[in-house]
Each structure stands twice: as C-alpha cells, then as structure tokens.
C-alpha cells in the first residue's frame, strides 16, 4: 500500500520550457530517492494541475500528499489560491492527509544556496 | 570610483513581507562580501523598482550593473518585460555596462539545494 507522495507545485507559464529547472529538481530527487513518489504540478498554464495530480495520486492509493510550493516566496497564490484548492481536495478525500509546505525560497538552505550563487557570480566563478 | 553593483531583482507582491526571504539573501551576501554593493529591486508592487534602483546606482558612479533575477524560472517577465527595461536603461546610460543573469532557479547549485530541501522534508528532517 503506497504511503506518502510529494508534489512539487509550481506556478506554470505559457512556455513549457519554463518548467525545465523544476523537472531537473524532480529528476534530482528521484535519482537520490528512487523509492519516493514525486510529481510536478502547476497552478496554471501547464499540466497537470495541482488538483488533478493530487486526485490521481489519491486514486492510486497514496494516503498522504505533501505539496511543496516551488515559489521564491509566500505570495498571494500561496496565501489564497492554494488553500482553496487544498480545502476542496480535503473535502473530496476526507480519508487522506494533505499537507502544504512553505515556499521553497523561504528555506534557510535555499536562501544560503542563492546567496552563494550570487557571490559566485559576483566573483566571476559561476 | 565604484565599479560593479549587483541588483537582486524579484517580482514583488502586495504584501511587503513577501520579500523577507529575498532580504535574507541580500543580508547573507552582504555578510560574506561587505565590499560588494548589492541591492534588492522589484518588477512591480514593491519599491524600489528595478529601473529606479539601477538609475540610482549609476548616478552614484557605478559603471557596471549586474541584474540577477530572483525567479524560479525564465518566464514571460524575464523574456519580455525585463529586456524592455534594460534597453531603456542602456539608452539612457550608454556609458554603463548593464548585464542580466539567468533566473536563479536555473542555476545548478540552486536546483541541487532545492532537491536536497525536498529530500530533507520527505525524510522529516527539514
């Protein structure tokens, strides 16, 4: 019986190439944790939508979904749009545990990695 | 005579708190490179605007401005809005070198940091 699935949840854009770095994150996670189910989903413009991705994982039998927002910071989408989507998913799937993390850009390790990248660029080494 | 200044350029949001993780990036860079001039600027909704920030640094005497987009990926803003702003800055300041980097989320070190964060969350250690 499957347990937890992770959804890397991103904004989306008209150009499918926009999602390329997020696909790289997804691949890096899968490479390091092949047993972990991880999917990429979007708020708008690209498929799958967060709602469809979560419903599909729940239909497969996953009992816990962890949604990790691939956003630089906690803006209006994460404060308003996403809670509405999550509420609807919870209502339709009362047996499931559906959790939402913070914007990835707020994680201290990511802040430090961005700072290191900026410093490397400034030093001409990135 | 000042040389290069770096602008961490972010989207902006209605809530000023949105920018908190970007201020943390800015502080981390300043802490590690106190001699480097680094400022935070925005596309919309928060001040300073990219244009005003760049003009102000050029007025101070900086000869080279490096704009580093604090975006998860290279979307419409970076493909359309930012080049227009940069073109205008270059026309008004033909003596200056104005460069624009890629979206920070596309840097390999940042992709790997995000993947490590996802794995740590999945393992319950972040």
Whether residues A122 and B36 touch (CB distance < 8 A) is answered with yes
ipTM of the modeled complex: 0.94
Burial class (CB in 10 A: 0-12, 13-18, 19+), A68: buried
Residue B111 forms contact with A (CB below 8 Å): yes
Residue of B15, B72, B110 lying closest to A117 (CB–CB): B110
Instruction: Please tell me the predicted confidence (pLDDT) of residue A75.
Output: 85
pLDDT in tens, A11-46: 999 999 999 999 999 999 999 999 999 999 999 999
User: Alpha carbon B105 to chain centroid distance?
Assistant: 12
Mean pLDDT to the nearest integer, B90-99: 95
Asked whether residue B126 carries a pLDDT value surpassing 80, the answer given is no
Mean pLDDT to the nearest integer, B4-14: 95
Q: Which residue has the higher pLDDT, B123 or B54?
A: B54
Domains of chain A: 4-122 (3.40.50.1400)
Instruction: Please tell me the predicted confidence (pLDDT) of residue B116.
Output: 97
Instruction: Please tell me the predicted confidence (pLDDT) of residue B76.
Output: 83
Mean pLDDT to the nearest integer, B85-109: 95
Q: What angle do CA A44, A46, A50 make, to 5 degrees?
A: 60
Asked whether residue B2 carries a pLDDT value surpassing 80, the answer given is no
| Chain A residues touching residue B108 (CB < 8 angstroms) | 24
> Residues in chain A with pLDDT < 70?
1, 125-126
Whether residues B107 and A122 touch (CB distance < 8 A) is answered with no
Residue A86 forms contact with B (CB below 8 Å): no
Q: Is A11 a catalytic residue?
A: yes
Residue A102 forms contact with B (CB below 8 Å): no
């Amino acid at each position: 019986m499957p347990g937890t699935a992770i959804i890397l949840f991103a904004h989306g854009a008209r150009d499918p190439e926009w999602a390329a770095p997020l696909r790289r994150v997804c691949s890096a996670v899968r490479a390091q944790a092949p047993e972990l189910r991880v999917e990429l989903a979007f708020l708008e413009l690209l498929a799958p939508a967060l709602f469809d991705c979560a419903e599909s994982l729940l239909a497969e039998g996953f009992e816990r979904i962890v949604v990790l927002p691939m956003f630089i910071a906690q803006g209006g989408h994460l404060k308003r749009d996403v809670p509405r989507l999550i509420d609807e998913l919870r209502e339709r799937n009362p047996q499931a545990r559906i959790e939402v993390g913070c914007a990835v850009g707020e994680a201290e390790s990511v802040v430090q990695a961005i700072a290191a990248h900026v410093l490397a660029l400034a030093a001409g080494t990135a």
